[in-house]
Amino acid sequence: MRSSPFRLSLSAVLLALGVAGAQGQTQRVIPDSQAQVQLSFAPVVRQTAGSVVNVYASRSERRQNAAMEEYFRRFFGDNAPGVPRGRSQSSLGSGVIVDPSGLVITNNHVIENMNEVKVALADRREFAADILLRDPRTDIAVLKLKDATNLQAVELGDSEALQVGDLVLAIGNPFGVGQTVTQGIVSALARTQVGISDYQFFIQTDAAINPGNSGGALIDMNGRVVGINTAIYSRSGGSIGIGFAVPSSMVRVVLNSAKGGAKNVVRPWLGARLQPVDGDIASGLGLERPTGVLVTSVYDKGPAAEAGLKRGDAILMVDGQPVDNPDSFGYRFTLKGTQGQAPLTVLRSGKQTTIPVRLMPPPENPPREPVRGKARTPFAGATLVNMSPAVADELQIEIADDGIVVADLEDRSVAASVGFEKGDQIVAINGERVTSTKDADRLINRNGGYWEITVNRGGRVFTTVLGR
């Protein structure tokens, strides 16, 4: 329990800024005196800053094999000219302790491709960290500090309660200079045309966010994390007052997946393809303005088909929350989880109706049955798997009833050098249709050096000829 003077000071700040109200209702008012304007954010900073950490990630790659490197070291020492050395990469960012057990939220891009992570606390203690979960689609990662005790955790707030104009603080480690606090307001909500991640639905703020702030906390005036600072819009590399944060509602989805022991975030599957509603479509639907998403196709074995959704339906809301494009639909639908039902408000033939859709993860049917590309073939370094709703969702490609897809691709591999990309669907090999990884394995093994490979890449089908 904190001391009375602290509680009184914090209450004074919150009341002056209009964030406390009668009967639990938030009241936002303009300061009406010079004294109110001069009140400090220091109590909120004291409450939260100890939970914001620095994240140092690195990756080392050796150029030579271990035996050769040991040979050079034995005769010439570590620093002698000509000794083979590894290549190293490093990155610096911020993070937030969200659980006293040592769980830390940061951005995936801070630790992407890194194999060693260290975390420095505000009190200068340092700990190694394990990566529990990476989620590139939200650009969120969850770390677990090793052997850490006496940690100050901060509570995740409700980003759904934010309003444009609310005061917020950004805490992080910009440019590696040390922990820094900046103040601003919520400039916009539900930003979806940012191009940062698959699930684009960001809080925009003018609180200064600079390189190194990534993964840091966006704090409301109740001292709770309402967002994880992720990116800025800038032509110079520095803050110009346009920063973006992942809402805490989505962060909570990723965190709960990590707490449950999952290695990936499992999202609900609709089983339908959607497109934005533009002005012409809105006019044809009888809408006053462009809003919602249009169903362009329905997978015949998915929840959408089961619920009765049809091509040409316009989905206007998810559980009473309006959606304006596929990104906002994906965000709202993901927050519903993978159990129970989600009520969708649908416009069909000029009439609105509510259709409950069953929430479920995308099925992995058929099983993946991965096949690794053989040496001396164009597929060397590629992993091929059977197509399924789960694979299509994971790779963000349109589902097909059968076939195989490139699920993984090693850097600098033969498959990468000949032009294959992750998500490519292999349609045929030497004129024979490929419907499963068993077909692919058979066709690859019997080939004599001539390759005619037909690929579907994002709906564009082309044939590549390799070999003699």
Inform me whether the pLDDT recorded for 111 exceeds 50.
yes
> Where is pLDDT greater, at 216 or 91?
216
What percent of the chain shows pLDDT beyond 90? 59
Inform me whether the pLDDT recorded for 97 exceeds 60.
yes
Ordered by where they begin, the domains of the chain are 4-39 (no CATH), 41-56+91-265 (2.40.10.120), 272-358 (2.30.42.10), 371-467 (2.30.42.10)
Inform me whether the pLDDT recorded for 20 exceeds 90.
no
Least confident of 133-142, 188-197, 387-396, 451-460: 188-197
Inform me whether the pLDDT recorded for 335 exceeds 60.
yes
How far CA 315 is from CA of 200, 311, 354, 357, in Å, comes to 18, 11, 10, 12
Give the per-residue pLDDT at 76.
41
Cα 119 from Cα 96, distance rounded (Å): 10
3-state SS assignment for residue 250: helix
Mean pLDDT of 153-174: 92
**Closest to 168 in 3D by CA, of 201, 216, 206, 200:** 206
**Closest to 457 in 3D by CA, of 420, 410, 425:** 425
Inform me whether the pLDDT recorded for 68 exceeds 50.
no
Query: Under a CB-based contact definition with an 8 Å cutoff, are residues 226 and 217 in contact?
Result: no
Give the per-residue pLDDT at 274.
94
pLDDT tens-digit map of 268-316: 999 999 999 999 999 999 999 999 999 999 998 899 999 999 999 999 9
Cα 44 from Cα 264, distance rounded (Å): 34
**Enzyme catalytic residues:** 109, 139, 214
Cα 413 from Cα 419, distance rounded (Å): 10
Cα 179 from Cα 109, distance rounded (Å): 20
Cα 126 from Cα 150, distance rounded (Å): 13
> Where is pLDDT greater, at 406 or 239?
406
Query: Token digits for 388?
Result: 């399924």
Inform me whether the pLDDT recorded for 26 exceeds 50.
yes
Mean pLDDT of 109-121: 89
Q: How many CB atoms lie within 10 A of CB 447?
A: 18
- In degrees, rounded to 5, the angle at the alpha carbon of residue 356 between the alpha carbons of residues 326 and 248 is 50
**Using 50, 70 and 90 to split pLDDT, how confident is the model at 194?**
low
Inform me whether the pLDDT recorded for 29 exceeds 90.
no
- In degrees, rounded to 5, the angle at the alpha carbon of residue 376 between the alpha carbons of residues 371 and 377 is 50
Give the per-residue pLDDT at 235.
62
Give the per-residue pLDDT at 192.
65
Cα 432 from Cα 422, distance rounded (Å): 22
3-state SS assignment for residue 54: strand
> Where is pLDDT greater, at 440 or 80?
440
Query: What does residue 180 show for φ and ψ, rounded to 5 degrees?
Result: -135, 145
Cα 436 from Cα 370, distance rounded (Å): 10
Cα 226 from Cα 246, distance rounded (Å): 8
Inform me whether the pLDDT recorded for 24 exceeds 60.
no
Mean pLDDT of 28-57: 83
445 burial via Cβ count (<10 Å: 0-12, 13-18, 19+): exposed
Give the per-residue pLDDT at 91.
73
Query: Under a CB-based contact definition with an 8 Å cutoff, are residues 424 and 388 in contact?
Result: no
Task: Specify the residue for token string 């008012």.
Answer: 29
Query: What does residue 183 show for φ and ψ, rounded to 5 degrees?
Result: -125, 145
> Where is pLDDT greater, at 405 or 234?
405
Inform me whether the pLDDT recorded for 432 exceeds 90.
yes
**Closest to 332 in 3D by CA, of 135, 157, 190:** 190
Query: Under a CB-based contact definition with an 8 Å cutoff, are residues 318 and 328 in contact?
Result: no
Inform me whether the pLDDT recorded for 18 exceeds 80.
no
pLDDT tens-digit map of 358-392: 999 999 999 999 999 888 889 999 999 999 999 99
> Where is pLDDT greater, at 87 or 261?
261
Query: What does residue 438 show for φ and ψ, rounded to 5 degrees?
Result: -65, -40
**Closest to 440 in 3D by CA, of 402, 392, 400:** 402
Give the per-residue pLDDT at 236.
61
pLDDT tens-digit map of 208-256: 888 888 899 999 999 999 999 987 776 666 666 788 999 999 999 999 9
**Closest to 133 in 3D by CA, of 94, 173, 103:** 103
Please give the model's pTM, rounded to 2 decimal places: 0.78
Q: What is the mean pLDDT of the chain?
A: 84
Query: Under a CB-based contact definition with an 8 Å cutoff, are residues 357 and 363 in contact?
Result: no
Give the per-residue pLDDT at 238.
65
Give the per-residue pLDDT at 11.
41
What percent of the chain shows pLDDT beyond 70? 82
Least confident of 55-59, 81-85, 178-182: 81-85
Inform me whether the pLDDT recorded for 75 exceeds 60.
no
Sign, Cα dihedral of 439, 440, 446, 447? positive
